[in-house]
Amino acid sequence: MAPSPSNRKLDISRRLPVGVEVVNHIQSADRMVHARVWAPACKSVDLVVEGGETFALEQEPNGYFAGLAKGVTTGTRYRFRLDGGDALPDPASRYQPEGPHGPSEVVDPQHFEWSDTDWRGVSIEGQVLYELHVGTFTKAGTFRAAIERLPDLVDVGVTVVEVMPVADFVGQFGWGYDGVNMFAPSHVYGTPDDFRAFVDAAHRLELGVILDVVYNHLGPDGNYLARFSPHYFAEKATEWGASINFDGEGSGSVREFFVANARYWIEEFHLDGLRLDATQQIWDSSARHILTDVAAEVRSAAAGRATIVIAENEPQDARLVRPCDTGGCGMDALWNDDFHHSAVVAATGRSEAYYTGYAGTPQEFISAAKYGFLYQGVYYMWQHGPRGSPAFDLAPSRFVNFTQNHDQVANTGNGKRLHQETSPARARALTAMLLLAPQTPMLFQGQEFHASSPFHFFADHAGELGAQVRAGRSAFMSQFWSVAARDEATRILDPAHPSTFVRCKLDWSERERNADVVALHRDLLRLRREDTVLRRQRAHAVDGAVIGPHAFALRFFGDAGDDRLLVVNLGARHHADPMPEPLLAPPAGRRWRTVISTEDQQYGGWGTPPLPSDDQGWWLPSEFAAFLAPTP
């Protein structure tokens, strides 16, 4: 065994507190790396080079082991041996070329040549998000292949791509929420530099990129963190396994690990922010919540670039997006399940499981446009208690609205998209509501061209684990009566079967075949971007009125009476007369003119009569939406 040189002989400036980093700045021509790993219960840790030397790391007083290894450089594969026993992958591995159970590989991020030096990042205001899963976004399912479709997103008006988790996981396909190598982009999608190339290409197109990260649990297979220290995990469980220890014994180093992960994605991959999965399952009773540290670290790592940090939080806790000095976590936005649930019930009529408590009524859409969350502390029958917290003070951009996402499409059981569960006209009307409401809109991959490909739950777990995953998924889906009515054997497709994954891949030829759908999305987003009133997203600048059983109007207040009107009817043709509603009155001395209607023939509709008509009040076509502006 060859001992490493003393760390005290050279000035080692690490980028991150953990992992193996190439040393490029010392006064030596030798190739070498510096390794650092937390293993507080161990007496010795060695860096074992595959087919080469073994280097003993020096023990630090705080449970870390560190040292230099000569002759080790980019591309070298290695493991850490604990107390002379098994050699395990690096907990902070930057790349696992053979998957989580294989050796780690040394990566030097400085080899990649960036072209985005003038990129200034993105802030939440004015953005249009697009959630994508790398493995199904293209037929090839790689970072490089995904680059080819980015211009199509720009064309339709998307401004920020939200990439589903890429932390390496076991198997050849999965959603990514069972990742186990927090710092290693999944080898099934490509190399770390391939992911960098994806981000760089997006920035050249003026697209931001944020990454979905999972800080509430790790996957069940390939997770070696506990072998290095049991303190990584807490006794309290999440819905998916043991929770991360952010406030117990040894939690200081655990917090450092995850905060470093947040910095890593921003610094070394030039990402524009993070989306944090299921934050309600991140347990932390510390005086300063780990989410506060993560958000602050993202800002610090960006070094002046604008960033976005979004949380998924089922209880809809508004404190997450409030400033730190008022007790908040300083995040930028929260996913808004309320809007989605109302839209689904309006589209399908199915008020089941967690859709219980939503009716898809005009008033729900009005309240969502005005206040973001519908449940802000009132009783929610599905959970038999109050849901949400007051959010009246939050700007509309703080709420991320959607009618589809990975969970909700998969939770139909058959993986159907919303447009497949309702009429084409109602789907167009709901699209207008989503894209013109003052909140931040998010599309799910393929939504902009009405993709026919489903999105199922898939996870490449074999044997007993695979059987457990399928059983667990089937049990979860049984909460939906429309799914529970099926035989258990056919309730869901086998998550581990390759065909379940393959059938979820987008067919991009549908984008040309469904050009009318693309045109509607493109025109609505252009209107959102260019209209002087819509693009402001000002708080308390929208009001609404119910004008029929399934019809409503939203008034967007501009300056000096330069208002806008969005009229939506999700039911049968409706004659609104009389109409004693001041929100429908045009500004003084002017009339309303239709700027865009979802029933325009170029979008696949039947055409729209004048709104309002010259006589007999307002005739609202069935299942339509129209955006109106005052005449000059």
Tens of pLDDT, residue by residue over 77-127, are 999 999 999 999 999 999 999 999 999 999 999 999 999 999 999 999 999
Query: Over pLDDT 70: what percentage of the chain?
Result: 95
Amino acid at 477: M
- Whether 488 is catalytic: no
**Which has the minimum average pLDDT: 190-199, 437-446, 539-548?**
539-548
In the predicted model, what is the mean pLDDT of residues 541-550? 96
Torsion of CA 582, 583, 589, 590, to 10 degrees: -150
Distance from C-alpha of 290 to C-alpha of 313, rounded to nearest angstrom? 15
**Which has the minimum average pLDDT: 202-211, 285-294, 401-410, 482-491?**
482-491
Q: Please answer whether residues 127 and 93 qualify as being in contact, where contact means their C-beta atoms are separated by less than 8 angstroms.
A: no
Query: In the structure encoding, which two tokens stand for residue 322, read together?
Result: 């409030």
pLDDT of residue 128: 98
Which domains can be identified in the chain, with CATH numbers?
2-88 (2.60.40.10), 129-218+259-514 (3.20.20.80), 528-630 (2.60.40.1180)
Q: What is the mean pLDDT of the chain?
A: 94
pLDDT of residue 413: 87
Cis preceding linkage at 578, omega within 30: yes
- Whether 312 is catalytic: yes
Distance from C-alpha of 480 to C-alpha of 2, rounded to nearest angstrom? 61
pTM for this predicted structure: 0.96
Please give the full DSSP string across 586-601, using - where no structure is assigned. Answer: PSTT--EEEEEETT-G
pLDDT of residue 11: 54
pLDDT at 518 over 50: yes
Look at residues 224, 241, 244, 223 and name the one whose alpha carbon lies nearest to residue 232: 244
Distance from C-alpha of 603 to C-alpha of 520, rounded to nearest angstrom? 6
In the predicted model, what is the mean pLDDT of residues 398-423? 96
In the predicted model, what is the mean pLDDT of residues 507-532? 98
pLDDT of residue 488: 62
In the predicted model, what is the mean pLDDT of residues 383-393? 95
In the predicted model, what is the mean pLDDT of residues 127-150? 98
DSSP bridge pairs for 596: 627
In the predicted model, what is the mean pLDDT of residues 176-192? 98
* Most confident option among 301-315, 485-499, 609-623: 301-315
Query: In the structure encoding, which two tokens stand for residue 482, read together?
Result: 């429309």
CA 78 to chain centre: 32
Q: Give tens-digit pLDDT for 320-357.
A: 999 999 999 999 999 999 999 999 999 999 999 999 99
Q: Please answer whether residues 622 and 571 qualify as being in contact, where contact means their C-beta atoms are separated by less than 8 angstroms.
A: yes
Distance from C-alpha of 169 to C-alpha of 186, rounded to nearest angstrom? 7
Look at residues 169, 239, 263, 253 and name the one whose alpha carbon lies nearest to residue 495: 169
Q: Three-state SS for 406?
A: helix
SS (H, E, C) 450-464: CCCCCCCCCECCCHH
pLDDT of residue 585: 92
pLDDT at 479 over 50: yes
The one catalytic residue in 168, 193, 277, 448 is 277
Percent of residues in the chain assigned helix, strand, coil, to nearest 5 = 30, 20, 45
Please give the full DSSP string across 528-597, using - where no structure is assigned. Answer: HHH-TTGGG--TT-EEEEEEETTEEEEEE--GGG--EEEEEE-SS-EEE-S---GGGSPSTT--EEEEEE
Q: Is pLDDT larger for residue 96 or for residue 414? A: 96
**Which has the minimum average pLDDT: 152-156, 383-387, 511-515, 612-616?**
612-616
**Which has the minimum average pLDDT: 125-129, 210-214, 447-451, 482-486?**
482-486
The one catalytic residue in 46, 105, 168, 312 is 312
Distance from C-alpha of 295 to C-alpha of 25, rounded to nearest angstrom? 30
Look at residues 293, 278, 281, 285 and name the one whose alpha carbon lies nearest to residue 243: 281
**Which has the minimum average pLDDT: 73-87, 111-125, 516-530, 564-578?**
564-578
In the predicted model, what is the mean pLDDT of residues 406-431? 96
CA 42 to chain centre: 37
Degrees, nearest 5: CA angle 518-523-524: 100
CA-based diameter of the chain, in Å?
Answer: 94
Q: Give tens-digit pLDDT for 217-253.
A: 999 999 999 999 999 999 888 999 899 999 999 999 9
DSSP structural state of residue 57: P
pLDDT at 256 over 60: yes
Q: Which residues contact 158 (CB under 8 A, 6 or more apart)?
A: 128, 129, 130, 207, 443, 448, 525
In the predicted model, what is the mean pLDDT of residues 175-202? 98
Q: Which residues contact 534 (CB under 8 A, 6 or more apart)?
A: 436, 438, 527, 528, 556, 564
pLDDT of residue 206: 98
pLDDT of residue 538: 83
pLDDT at 57 over 90: yes
Phi/psi zone of residue 413: left (φ > 0), alpha (ψ -120 to 50 degrees), beta? left
What is the dihedral sign for C-alpha 545, 530, 307, 405?
positive
Degrees, nearest 5: CA angle 102-107-108: 175
pLDDT at 464 over 50: yes
Q: Please answer whether residues 198 and 145 qualify as being in contact, where contact means their C-beta atoms are separated by less than 8 angstroms.
A: no
pLDDT of residue 3: 44
pLDDT of residue 29: 59
pLDDT of residue 118: 96
pLDDT of residue 411: 93
Long-range residue pairs from 200-205, CB within 8 A, at least 24 positions apart, any chain? 200/112, 200/114, 200/115, 200/116, 200/270, 201/147, 201/150, 202/150, 202/161, 203/115, 203/116, 203/119, 203/270, 204/115, 204/116, 205/150, 205/151, 205/154
pLDDT at 6 over 90: no
Q: Please answer whether residues 468 and 524 qualify as being in contact, where contact means their C-beta atoms are separated by less than 8 angstroms.
A: no
Distance from C-alpha of 74 to C-alpha of 78, rounded to nearest angstrom? 11
pLDDT at 299 over 50: yes
